[in-house]
Amino acid sequence: MKTNKLFLGYMSVILLTLVACKKSEQFYKDELFGIKLTGYNGSGETLVTKLGDVTFPDGISPNARFEQNNAYLFKSTENKIKLSVTEQVSGKLVLEKELNKEEGSAKLNFLYLDGKIGPMPDKPAVEKDKISLVYMFQPTVTNYTEPVDFVIGKYYVTPQVFEELGRLKNVKPYEFSTPVSIPTFNGGRQDYNGVMTSVSFHVRIYKAGTNIPYVDGTSFTWNVLNSNAPKPASSTASSKLYIFSESPMGNVMRFSTRLEL
């Protein structure tokens, strides 16, 4: 009996030791950490990504959309590491973030433009018979600071009728709007209440909550035909993101596209 009790005691100790070792091995094992960087580098500089002292092999090209997928092997004694993005030539710090092992992975999506970093929204998926639009408006000439409405619709030239199809409300300058979708439609010459007229796709910029062009009260005028925010073809389903700025011609307000995706 004593021998059996001793044997059982030894076996219990061995089993407890094995369980403890297994738990310890699970707790201290190395862990692979996935890192995904997406967005748009709107600068003329190549960007370099580093994890601690390790540099990612591929740089982020200038004036291009990017997607980088990398991984880091956290050692058993590590809990966090610093991610940094810098300009290759100047060394200027663009982005810095501490990554924690317990999070399992990291995804960072950003826009780098005019020396500043900001969020980069994802475009909606293309839907059948739909046009989806996302805008960022940069009033670089008027320095307009109030929110605006983007009013999207059809313009019937001969009767001078504007039919609103969608509206993005209270969009702040230098910030991305939420997406808006409208149905596709055919332009060109059409019948409107018995009158043949040209139909065109218009995106107007009004003072928020009104139908008043945002340039009202400035030295610039809004031209019904030529003062239009950028837009795709009206007859084809698409999903577009635009960053655009003011580019007046004389006193008529016009716009130029900085980025179209």
**DSSP labels for 49-106?**
EEETTEEPSS-B-TTEEEEEEEEEEE-TT--EEEEEEEETTT--EEEEEEEEGGG-EE
What CATH architecture does domain 31-119 belong to?
A: Sandwich (2.60)
Domain segments of the chain as ranges: 31-119, 130-260
Place of tokens 């577009």: 240
Q: What is the pLDDT along the chain (261 residues), one digit of tens a residue?
A: 444 443 333 444 334 444 444 444 444 467 899 999 999 999 999 999 998 888 998 899 999 999 999 888 888 888 999 999 999 999 999 999 999 998 989 999 999 999 999 999 989 999 999 999 999 999 999 999 999 999 999 999 989 999 999 999 999 999 999 999 999 999 889 888 888 999 999 999 999 999 999 999 999 999 999 999 999 999 999 999 999 999 999 999 999 999 999
Give residue 29's pLDDT.
62
Establish how many alpha carbons lie within 13 A of residue 100's alpha carbon, considering only the half-sphere containing its beta carbon. 2
Q: What is the pLDDT of residue 18?
A: 44
